[in-house]
Amino acid sequence: MGLWNKLSNEFIDIIEWLDDNPNVMVHRFERYQNEIKMGAKLTVREGQVAIMVNEGQMGKGQVADVFMPGMYELSTENMPLLSTIKGWKYGFNSPFKAEVYFFKTTRFTNLKWGTAGPATMRDPEFGVVRVTAFGIYGLRIRDAKTVLLELVGTQADFTIQDIEENLRGKIGLRIKEVMPEIGVPVIDLEGKVSVVGQRIQEKIAGDFEQYGLELCEVQVQDIGLPEEVEKAIDQQGAMRAIGNMQQFAQYQGAQALRDAAQNPGMAGAMMGVGVGGMLNQSMGNLFAANNSAPAATGATPPPLPGATPYFVAINGAQAGPFERAALQAQVVNGSLTRDSLVWRQGMAGWVKASEQTDLQDLFAALPPPLPPQ
């Protein structure tokens, strides 16, 4: 530093931090050889806290006086800890060496987080599911002394970038641990992101406090579910919209007929197994169910002889029971195959559809599986 700067600094008696960088969390006030005049004016603005440290010594016993927002004329009276460390038992008027750190106590927002790989959750409906998530969070300085000792050290300017990557990694790992504990079913995660964010904040706030920071909020912007779970959720929504599985199967049959009309080869195969008549019957039943008056109160009549409905295992879940028309529709759209497991009343257990004599004709127009290469 030049002679002019040295002389200029010796005449300056105002210690302040004009905050002009939104990313700076902590700023060390620069003074030639850290010399401060007794009686100097210390200005701490709103949204700031200042700490005076004895001659750059960062031990816990050397972090001295804390100044909240206000204007101070430095004296032994308003620097009791530093006065004790220095041994100023009586008045002291000469310049002394100390460092002043300013801390920004306003919020730092829009900081990004994300899970470091999928988090494993156990769901009562879908079993074990691997979920990812990402979003933003906000923090602020809560305990300036702890921040100084645990994070800042002797840096002149400590920015949010100096800690952001470390915190992002900690949040990602901790969220993988707490996701299974938040108590929200997988199917409801995307619809309750605000609740999920609040639960995550409650679980990991303590990890920030050890650094002297406060976790102000956690926002979940997206939940990533496995493709098969998303398909299952979509199917459940479609079934709820249609009303029941019987009508859903009839709807699938109608969709298959539409697709077949656009594919002559497929239409020929479907006509070969009488799907046309089956679909007409299914659609007729659907329209009759929708347009008829409410049935009289009583038990549902039993199925016609020789038409016992079957339950079908679809994506690892039991569905049905389905009557023959609905089973044929599922064969057409691929939901029911020769290897699909089926069960009906009176059977001891689940068996492959191809092993049931009364179901074999459903697959008559379909080619058998290709032999292994």
Q: What is the pLDDT of residues 59-82, one digit of tens each?
A: 554 677 899 999 998 887 778 777
Q: Where are the domains of the chain?
A: 3-104, 108-225, 229-290+307-363
What pLDDT sits at residue 90? 61
Residue 42, pLDDT score:
92
β-bridge partners, 72 = 42
pLDDT above 70 (res 243): no
CB 222 within 8 A of CB 189: no
pLDDT in the model for residue 297 = 46
Closest CA to 97 of 69, 57, 137, 136: 57
Residue 341: per-residue pLDDT: 87
pLDDT value at residue 102: 95
Which residue, among 145, 144, 146, 156, has the nearest Cα to 34 in the 3D structure? Answer: 156
CA quadruple 75, 81, 84, 86: dihedral sign: negative
C-alpha–C-alpha distance, residues 264 and 336, integer Å: 22
Q: State the pLDDT at residue 81.
A: 75
pLDDT score of 139: 94
CATH number of 108-225: 3.30.479.30
* Residue 215 bridge partners (DSSP): 139
Residues 25 and 103: beta-carbon distance below 8 Å: yes
Region 265-287: what's the mean pLDDT?
A: 50
Position 370 confidence tier, pLDDT thresholds 50, 70, 90: low
CA 312-314-315 angle, to 5 degrees, is 155
Q: Which pTM does this prediction carry?
A: 0.56
> How confident is residue 43, by pLDDT bands cut at 50, 70 and 90?
very high
Closest by CA to 25, choosing from 49, 45, 46, is 49
213: pLDDT strictly greater than 50: yes
Does the pLDDT of residue 14 top 80, yes or no?
A: yes
